[in-house]
Amino acid sequence: METSSLVIAVDAMGGDYAPDSVIAGVKLAEQQHPDIRFLIYGDEPKVRPFIEKYRLDEGRYDFIHTPDYVASDEKPSVAVRSGRKSSLWLAIESVKKGTASAVVSSGNTGALMAFSKLILGTMPGIHRPAIVTILPTRKSECVVLDLGANAECTARNLVEFAIMGEAYCRAVLKREKPTIGLLNIGSEDIKGRDEIRQAAQILKTSPLADEFKGFVESDDIATGAVDVFVTDGFTGNIALKAIEGTARLMASLLKDVAARSLLSKLGFLLALPSLKQLKKRMDPGRYNGAMLVGLKGISIKSHGGADAFGFANALNVAVDTVRHDLVGGIAKQLDGLKFLEEETEK
């Protein structure tokens, strides 16, 4: 094993189609990145057949046999007590030990977050880690967080998310000075919740004041009105799934249209090459790989239903965030949080 290559730890047991889709995804990433290596954690009798099926390059991975794994429906509190020999726990531990630079799992989100917090620890200045992802917009792409780690948030939490989202956007989308918006509702009589208004007040006088563009609404995500959308985990999860559901609905209604008449069928056949490009652009797999930001290490959540293409994209996110030293980048931005210590809760 060459010591100079970047190593990604992989939990082969997490996700609806594991270990098949996980190992197939590793194979895709192996081809895309000739310079990265994999530490694969999983139950040998279950995983080995797929390693053979997809013919992983023997020089590019190490396999660690872990008979235990965390079920997708296991409560994180239970997993924390009983899952310390699981593939997920040991894969995360390899990041802590420095044998891997990042970990990727399609498994139980709550357990991934709980284990990552316990093993890697939270960055100084961050009260709550968050889940961040990239979504397609009319113009290009944007960053949204939190997607479900924190159902309820204080103003301080939201400000932390803004700082982490901004750093993520610089690193992954390569934007120089990303604009930031706080997700809110536009109804004239309420204008959102107290914590959102307070967070806006804090951001207006923060080092991010220039980048902060105030309140945005959830239809602004599709237009890409700002680069970074900041919200609590409940609201972010609701928006994300509403977007996914609508995209799937439109796709299936389009299929109905295509089948409606002979002319439609012919028409869609002619437009097929262009439609395929559209499908590729909107493919959820393309946006798979949500980082748990705010931890002292890189932990990436892949969608439970991810296929090989999706899992490979989550591995890409891991590679990108390691190469751009996202943890270091966020730590640097966190200096900007110091002004908060005097203003809000310690």
Positions 281 through 340 that interact with its own copies (CB under 8 A): 281-282
Quick check: 81 binds its own copies (CB under 8 A)? no
Out of 188, 342, 345, 346, point to the residue binding its own copies (CB under 8 A). 188
Residues 145-184 that bind its own copies (CB under 8 A): 148-152, 183
Out of 34, 138, 176, 342, point to the residue binding its own copies (CB under 8 A). 138
Residues 107-126 that bind its own copies (CB under 8 A): 108-111, 113-114
Distance CA 105, CA 314 (A): 9
Q: What is the DSSP letter of 60?
A: G
Tokens representing 329 are 């980048």
From 13-21, 86-94, 130-138, 312-320, span contacting its own copies (CB under 8 A): 130-138
Tokens representing 321 are 């965030």
The burial of 344, by beta-carbon neighbours within 10 Å (0-12 exposed, 13-18 middle, 19 or more buried), is given as: middle
CB of 274 to its own copies, least distance (A): 4
CB of 59 to its own copies, least distance (A): 37
Q: Which is nearer to its own copies, 121 or 207 (CB)?
A: 121
CB of 29 to its own copies, least distance (A): 26
Distance CA 271, CA 279 (A): 12
Q: Which is nearer to its own copies, 231 or 333 (CB)?
A: 231
192 Rama sector, left if φ>0, alpha if ψ -120 to 50, beta otherwise: left
Quick check: 13 binds its own copies (CB under 8 A)? no
* Non-local CB neighbours of 116 within 8 Å, separated by 6+ positions: 92, 103, 129, 292, 295, 297, 299
Asked if residue 229 lies in contact with residue 221, where contact means CB atoms within 8 angstroms, the answer is: yes
Binding mask 31-70 vs its own copies (x if CB under 8 A, - otherwise)? ----------------------------------------
Q: Which is nearer to its own copies, 93 or 232 (CB)?
A: 232
What is residue 335's three-state secondary structure? Answer: helix
| Residue 230 bridge partners (DSSP) | 145, 182
Residues 202-261 that bind its own copies (CB under 8 A): 217-223, 233-235, 237-239, 241-250, 252-254, 256-258, 260-261
| Residue 132 bridge partners (DSSP) | 145, 291
